[in-house]
Structure 1
């Protein structure tokens, strides 16, 4: 019995990222230059040139290695503001997802059962051995609680939030998070109005309480209120998209006249090569 308890405790510490990790000497000043180089392989569509990134993976590996030496937890003097810390954790999460995909290419997230992609491996980050699950749940959502973060986290799937072509920077973080939210909500694959039904991506169901908690008092418990805030006013950049006005007219001033239908996420790999093949 004691052995089972010890194993269960160890597994819990592992998944929650509560185990220590060795801290190597920093190779130099911490920064996002190497990560930015890796992101040059992100296409405007959000798909990735994985073959090109595999050839140029050294920069991504250097950035991931640099995470082991510093973090807002271990070296808070390097991350004096909440924006510094949040930018670090978002970039760390996205880089770890990206490197794991590069290492296992052409397999993607869907090849792992029970979401093992997110909890089956730990990474040394600032003296902590973190799973992707721990980084997201305990740190990004537990310490910062900004629902826009959901739209900034790259989950390695075509149906999830797209990877941006540049690192998140503390001085531009608020604008970047707003851009990520507008990009996701403005995509018809994630938000689509059909008569009196609004089809929403599964992410809005999975993280519904986070979105509702961000609504001002008195706005009610309708996730469409959060969606409305990031819909475009016009469709000049995305012809055929749904706008705030469309939602108002179809769903009423309180957005309570529409039915919400949640749609499953496309878990295929956002591979630029497969997209090009489909277009031939």
Structure 2
């Protein structure tokens, strides 16, 4: 999840008057020309995330803690939802919010799937030590699922698509890496119609959580997210302090002394 562990690039090529879109994504340490691609039709039905919503309501607490054994018990329904995601990548005809909701849900759902594949584990980082793939040393770089028929990874979704294409730092409040110091996993799916409200709610919840940020006027100890992704927070004339103050009940001074809290990688399990 830090800059060394999680980085990727994306290139998009629109073909044949927009009828097909091919997206190439490169995981860290891999030959760029060997990066996975997926091809989607310019028009397709928008994915319904209702099945994921039901599972989240059933197996995720209000505090964002996950009943992984419960997901395991409902594995058939969960895998059916993942199969639907895999076969129906966003199309050019989808709205921005429809695409963002798809990719955020995909990241969170496939993160749960990755944990289930190796459960029980104390931390998602433990999965990295089990990887036997050349040049792949972190769980986020594993190409363990397919989108549009091509193998891809969590890194590809976060860095290659969401950060590159949509340029909205609030995604960092929505993507959940299955760890205690991550943002709270919502016990509902993200949807296009509610996306703005959901992102704002995630931001307020994360910034004002004293286990993740300790904010005072003259001093603040912030989540490592604000350090790891500083470039995102500083785009378009913004700053870490401006983003924090946008949501924090306690406002930081622009001259506040800022430090960063240790990150708790323990699994976000019930």
TM-score higher than 0.5: yes
Whole-Å separation in 2 of the counterparts to 1:83 and 1:12: 31
Which stretches in structure 2 are left out of the alignment for 5+ residues?
1-25, 130-135
Match of 2:76 among 52, 55, 58: 58
In the alignment, which residue of structure 2 is the partner of 1:261?
259
| Alignment match, 1:166 | 188
TM-score, scaled relative to structure 2: 0.78
Asked if 1:94 is matched to 2:83, the reply is no
The CA distance in 2 between the partners of 1:194 and 1:82, in whole Å, is 36
* Residue aligning to 1:69: 87
Does 1:48 find its partner at 2:66?
A: yes
Q: How does 1:13-162 map to 2 (within 5 A)?
A: 18-20=35-37, 30-39=47-56, 40-72=58-90, 75-77=91-93, 79=94, 81-107=95-121, 108-111=123-126, 112-113=128-129, 116-162=138-184
How many aligned positions are there? 232
Partner of 2:241: 224
* Largest Rg, 1 or 2: 1
Contact 1:215 1:225 in 2 (8 A): no
Change (3 A) 1:195 1:68: closer
Partner of 1:213: 235
When the two chains are superposed, the root-mean-square deviation of aligned CA atoms in Å is: 2.7
Which structure has the highest helix share of the two? 1
Change over 3 Å in CA distance of 1:159–1:9 after alignment to 2: closer
How far is 1:120 from its partner?
Answer: 2.2
More strand by share: 2
Distance 1:11 1:66, change over 3 A: farther
SS at match of 1:76: coil
- Structure 1 unaligned runs (5+)? 1-7, 217-221, 233-242, 273-280
1:3 is matched with none
Name the counterpart of 2:16: none
Deviation at 1:183, TM superposition (A): 0.8
CA shift in 2, pair 1:50/1:214, >3 Å: farther
Shift of residue 193, structure 1, vs aligned partner: 3.0
